[in-house]
Amino acid sequence: MPNSIEIQIGQLLMERGLKLVLAESCTGGLVGSRITDVPGSSEYFLGGVVAYAYEAKVDLLGVSWDTLNTKGAVSRETVLEMARGVRERMNADLAVSVSGIAGPGGGTAEKPVGTTWIGLAAEDGEWAKLYQFSEDREGNKALAAEAALTLLLDYLQGKQI
């Protein structure tokens, strides 16, 4: 793990004195696990919330019932509300959120298995990106975690999101 994405993220967060939080659904804590694989990550990682059920998204992250009922848990609107909510509640500089359909069930014609939204909320804006993975459940979760970390690194490196 000499120059892994997690280490690069940690170095950039440390250099800038930024604090990170996470709101995860389909990844079930994988993003947080990868962030905390880096020794010293407590310097920049405040914590994360795994909010799987609608109730958890509402109660812990402040996602609105209206958003969940009209757009669904796997939507641009939901991941933005997840990221915004965890960032505000945990008083952090940056928040990343993930919501998707890992499979094997749960997919629809509109949102097939592997559909994943990743959100990012920061002081200077909010972004969301749609991904479509085509692995099994474990593979989709791993790809979603990697995509979330890549999106965060891209933001920290000033790349277009």
Residue 161 included in any domain: no
Instruction: Indicate whether 143 pLDDT > 70.
Output: yes
What is the percent of the chain with per-residue pLDDT over 90, rounded to a whole number?
A: 97
What is the percent of the chain with per-residue pLDDT over 70, rounded to a whole number?
A: 99
| pLDDT tier for residue 123 given thresholds of 50, 70 and 90 | very high
Residue 90 included in any domain: yes
| pLDDT tier for residue 92 given thresholds of 50, 70 and 90 | very high
Give the total number of structural domains in the chain.
1
Region of residue 90 (left: phi > 0; alpha: psi -120 to 50; beta: else)? alpha
Instruction: Indicate whether 39 pLDDT > 70.
Output: yes
pLDDT at 161: 84
3-state secondary structure of 87: helix
Rounded to whole angstroms, the Cα distance separating 58 from 56 reads: 5
Residue 37 included in any domain: yes
| pLDDT tier for residue 3 given thresholds of 50, 70 and 90 | confident
Residue 101 included in any domain: yes
Greatest C-alpha distance within the chain: 44
Residue 93 included in any domain: yes
pTM of the entire structure?
A: 0.97
Residue 71 included in any domain: yes
Instruction: Indicate whether 40 pLDDT > 80.
Output: yes
| pLDDT tier for residue 2 given thresholds of 50, 70 and 90 | low
- 59: domain CATH number is 3.90.950.20
Kindly report the average pLDDT of the chain as a whole number.
97
pLDDT at 1: 57
What is the domain extent for residue 26? 5-156
